[in-house]
Amino acid sequence: MRGLIVRFRFSEQVSVQQPIQLKRFYKEASIEMAINPTNPYHQWLVKLDGKTVKTPSKNTLAVPSPQLASFIAHEFNMQTDYIRPTTMPLLTLARNAIDIEADDRIRQFMEQSIISYLERDTVLFRENPETKLYQIQKEKLDPKLKLFNDKFGLHLQTNFGLNIDPLKEYDQIKIETIVNELNNWQLVSLDAKVENLKSCILALLIWNNDLQVEEGVKLSRLEEDFQIAQFGKVEGHHDYDENTIMMNVSAAKLFAQLIQTQSIVY
């Protein structure tokens, strides 16, 4: 099971310290409508020089809408001499969704991962009340916590330091219900937001269109930005980190929109 989880997580996010040098081996990516698909989410194929793309688990890359297929084909066509997986977030999300369908253990792990973030959520963490950072957290995060509780029917409260209280039974059941009701494609979209923002609360607010991506990213980085303001930043590193998070969360939001787009019938 551990090997399964590690392999899946690596396919989802490629580390900057471990770049994959895969030479571009195709001339052109294109899309094609699937013939008599048995799965309603496998309507459109992405092809490289006429050959169907496969996922890391050797499943056929077939997606719900021509719009999503076109975006993924565009990611392939934008590659230069070498393929850079970090510039292909929609492809990563699609292949993860497909591989979940082939192995329910991955879905179970992903659900547990999302739910576990809620106890240690960025939005719930508070510094010492005597600090300036606490005042910033109270001003910026308290309204979002109230909005989240009101919208999703939970009763979450803030935590101080390392004193993290476990979820109350009611909140545990509520968040499990929300996550369980998502289909695999919606689940990978939410998981990508949670992983990048380190916040289930911000991810679900973005999911529900109650929060813009840019503001969500800023809120997820309140503590880091406070430290940067106090001590300065490492040139290039922090900018890259924020831009990468912004790209990944924006791609996850777009992915959720594209999987709901009605397929074109010819």
Higher pLDDT, 104 or 251: 251
Query: What are the C-alpha distances in Å from 186 to residues 41, 102, 178?
Result: 12, 16, 11
In the predicted model, what is the mean pLDDT of residues 38-42? 89
Interval 179-234: pLDDT, tens:
999 999 999 999 999 999 999 999 999 999 999 999 999 999 998 888 888 877 65
Higher pLDDT, 13 or 184: 184
The confidence score (pLDDT) of residue 19 equals 53
Query: What are the C-alpha distances in Å from 126 to residues 11, 159, 181, 243, 247?
Result: 33, 6, 31, 25, 27
The confidence score (pLDDT) of residue 51 equals 96
The confidence score (pLDDT) of residue 9 equals 41
Q: Is the pLDDT of residue 123 over 60?
A: yes
Do the Cβ atoms of 69 and 47 come closer than 8 Å? no
In the predicted model, what is the mean pLDDT of residues 165-173? 92
Interval 91-102: pLDDT, tens:
999 999 999 988
Higher pLDDT, 8 or 89: 89
Res. 1 pLDDT band, cuts 50 70 90:
very low
The confidence score (pLDDT) of residue 239 equals 55
Nearest-angstrom CA–CA distance, 85 and 104: 25
**Average pLDDT, rounded, for the chain:** 87
**3-class SS of residue 57:** coil
Q: What is the pTM for the complete model shown?
A: 0.86
Q: Is the pLDDT of residue 121 over 90?
A: yes
The confidence score (pLDDT) of residue 260 equals 82
Res. 241 pLDDT band, cuts 50 70 90:
confident
Res. 4 pLDDT band, cuts 50 70 90:
very low
Residue % of the chain over a pLDDT of 70: 86
